[in-house]
């Protein structure tokens, strides 16, 4: 399959899976319309790169459904100047979207093999505003806090307290919460009178491991 086919599939994905289902944020639609998702999936899965679902990547992990990526990104309300913390780099696809929409992205991945491959992919795409760290992101990145936006792309048992603490005033944290197979997407906004919690939609993510996550 050639590049033209992928570009067509990408445009079609943005229209039918995102815009038609209510994703309005123009910058988010533009970013998903630009980043070549086929480069983030294993070669054997390339033909399904723009399918309407999650796909298996290496190490038993997954790359999220395009709709979920767009929905979560829209919840962060990025305007451009933000520093974003991402937990769960995985393939790096979501990282690339964030790198297009924010000033700087700090991303933490538990599995070094995935992190290294993601970093290579982003470098190849000329996305250089990303800092990578291998380790437990459930405790955030205290030395680099506070953050205007924090995105967790793995399911936590509960909202990780260290991440709420690392939000800047007005900052947004988006995190799937609950046991595997029964999670809800939660957004915490750090308002003037304390954190405001919204529960948004049911979802399925692989488990967030670590100190404020599930035991290994």
- Enumerate binding residues for ligand SAH (CB under 6 A): 61-64, 87-88, 90-91, 93-94, 108-111, 114, 136-138, 153-154, 206, 208-210, 213
Q: Report, in Å, the least distance between residue 129 CB and ligand SAH.
A: 17
Question: In terms of CB distance, is 83 or 153 closer to ligand SAH?
Answer: 153
Q: Would you name the residues annotated as active-site residues? A: 64
Q: Report, in Å, the least distance between residue 3 CB and ligand SAH.
A: 21
Question: In terms of CB distance, is 23 or 87 closer to ligand SAH?
Answer: 87
How far apart CA 201 and CA 183 sit, in angstroms, is 8
How far apart CA 6 and CA 41 sit, in angstroms, is 13
* Sign, CA torsion 163/169/171/176: positive
Bridge-based pairing state of the strands 183-191 and 194-203: antiparallel
Question: In terms of CB distance, is 162 or 195 closer to ligand SAH?
Answer: 162
Q: Report, in Å, the least distance between residue 15 CB and ligand SAH.
A: 21
Q: Report, in Å, the least distance between residue 159 CB and ligand SAH.
A: 14
Question: In terms of CB distance, is 138 or 183 closer to ligand SAH?
Answer: 138
Q: Which two tokens stand for residue 40?
A: 């983030």
Provide DSSP, 111-170.
-HHHHHHHHHHHHHTT---EEEEES-GGG--GGG--EEEEEE-SBBSS--HHHHHTEEEE
How far apart CA 167 and CA 204 sit, in angstroms, is 24
Q: Report, in Å, the least distance between residue 134 CB and ligand SAH.
A: 8
Torsion of CA 114, 74, 16, 57, to 10 degrees: 10
Cβ(151)–Cβ(160) below 8 Å: no
Cβ(96)–Cβ(122) below 8 Å: yes
Q: Is 3 exposed, middle or buried (0-12, 13-18, 19+ CB in 10 A)?
A: exposed
Question: In terms of CB distance, is 66 or 196 closer to ligand SAH?
Answer: 66
């Amino acid at each position: 399959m050639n590049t033209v086919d992928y570009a067509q599939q990408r445009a079609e994905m943005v229209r039918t899976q995102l815009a038609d289902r209510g994703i309005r944020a123009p910058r988010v639609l533009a970013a998903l319309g630009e980043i070549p998702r086929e480069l983030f999936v294993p070669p054997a899965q390339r033909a399904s790169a723009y399918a309407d679902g999650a796909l298996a990547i290496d190490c038993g992990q997954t790359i999220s459904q395009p709709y979920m990526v767009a929905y979560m990104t829209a919840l962060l309300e990025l305007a451009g100047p933000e520093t974003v913390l991402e937990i769960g780099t995985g393939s790096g696809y979501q990282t690339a979207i964030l790198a297009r929409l924010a000033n700087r992205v700090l991303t933490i991945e538990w599995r070094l093999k995935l992190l290294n491959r993601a970093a290579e992919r982003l470098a190849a795409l000329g996305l250089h505003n990303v800092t990578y760290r291998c380790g437990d992101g459930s405790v955030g990145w205290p030395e680099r806090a506070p953050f205007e936006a924090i995105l967790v792309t793995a399911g936590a048992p509960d909202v990780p307290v260290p991440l709420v603490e690392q939000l800047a005033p007005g900052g947004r944290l988006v995190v799937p919460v609950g046991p595997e197979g029964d999670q809800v997407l939660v957004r915490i906004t750090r308002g003037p009178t304390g954190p405001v919690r919204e529960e948004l939609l049911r979802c399925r993510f692989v488990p967030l491991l670590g100190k404020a996550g599930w035991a290994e």
